[in-house]
Amino acid sequence: MNELIITGHTTLTALLGSPVAHSVSPLMHNEAFRLLGLDYAYLCFDVTPDRLKCVTDAFRVMNVRGFNLTMPDKTKMFELADEISPSAAMIGAVNTVVQENGKLYAYNTDGIGYMQAVKDAGFDIIGKHMVLLGCGGAATAIAVQAALDGVKRLTIVNRQGASYQKALKLADTIAKNTSCQTDTCLLEDTSALKQIIATAHILTNATSVGMAPMDSVSPLADETLLHPELIVSDIIYNPRTTLLMKQAKAIGCPTFNGLYMLLYQGAEAFRLWTGKAMPIPQIKEKYFS
């Protein structure tokens, strides 16, 4: 069995954000490095956006291979990268950086993680209609990747308020840059939502409603909006089964949670840094069961 040994040659990867100490990413990446016998290590650094430039400049000098970014650093990194992938550019946020010869190449793997989790759950949503609840950071990454991957129609749903303008803008950006048809709906407009959901193949909750400690709440006020043919997925993984998933299961809908989105966004970052596939079955068994 390989051991993870830090040597003079060890290549550093990292997570930057604040807070970061709770993250599963160091466990996942260090175990994957160990399993593949790669001389890499992954560490967490608590860095707020005002100090991000200073840290990433140091990482260039130190020849750090790459790093992940979590809240609140994802949008600040967008300004600091040398090159931005087309999907990260459309999303407007970065969660993974690869360094090559002092240049920082920025990506966003959150949406890739979600789309891989859909496949892992045994579903094919390419060419189908997706209803996405929320238009925050995670929802934006999912919306852009789903459209780039070939989802035919995307309905972005958000509650009334300032963020609804963001939903309209996101729908417009996606429609202009991909072949996906987009529309938006207010979360409060249950009669319009019912009609939209009736033709949908998948409904994805990318709001924070349902996450502990607010786990007694569902983003859908009325569960009769669901129908048994609808896949209902939640990107929340704490709790493992959200109230929305319970409502959906009671109606007979297939469901899955956000645990494997987390796994596969990490697997894509791992591939970008090492050129190797993360050993998914072992990582799943150890940290995602």
State in Å, rounded, how far the first CA of the chain is from the last one. Answer: 22
* Strand partners of residue 68: 15, 96
Among 67, 99, 137, 270, binds ligand NAP (CB under 6 A): 137
Among 236, 245, 248, 253, binds ligand NAP (CB under 6 A): 236
Among 262, 267, 278, 283, binds ligand NAP (CB under 6 A): 262
User: In the bound complex, what is the minimum distance in angstroms from residue 135's beta carbon to ligand NAP?
Assistant: 5
Question: Does residue 125 contact residue 201 with C-beta atoms inside 8 Å?
Answer: yes
Is 53 one of the annotated active-site residues of the chain?
no
Question: Does residue 143 contact residue 156 with C-beta atoms inside 8 Å?
Answer: yes
Name which of 49 and 137 has its Cβ closer to ligand NAP. Answer: 137
Sign of CA dihedral 105, 173, 145, 247: positive
CA distances from 97 to 43, 78, 91 (A): 14, 10, 15
Among 29, 84, 96, 110, binds ligand NAP (CB under 6 A): 110
Name which of 6 and 27 has its Cβ closer to ligand NAP. Answer: 27
Give CA–CA dist 65/43, Å, rounded.
Answer: 12
The structure tokens listed for 183 are 């529309």
Applying CB under 6 A, does 18 fall inside the site for ligand NAP? no
Identified catalytic residue from 74, 76, 103, 152: 74
Give CA–CA dist 81/76, Å, rounded.
Answer: 9
Among 59, 78, 107, 237, binds ligand NAP (CB under 6 A): 237
Among 18, 23, 208, 241, binds ligand NAP (CB under 6 A): 208
Applying CB under 6 A, does 211 fall inside the site for ligand NAP? yes
Applying CB under 6 A, does 90 fall inside the site for ligand NAP? no
Applying CB under 6 A, does 115 fall inside the site for ligand NAP? no
User: In the bound complex, what is the minimum distance in angstroms from residue 83's beta carbon to ligand NAP?
Assistant: 24
Give the ranges where the chain is alpha helix by DSSP (H).
25-36, 52-61, 74-80, 86-91, 110-120, 137-149, 162-177, 190-198, 243-251, 259-274, 280-287
Question: Which residues are annotated as catalytic?
Answer: 74
- Give the binding site for ligand NAP (CB under 6 A): 110, 134-139, 158-159, 161, 163, 187, 206-209, 211, 219, 235-237, 258, 261-262, 265
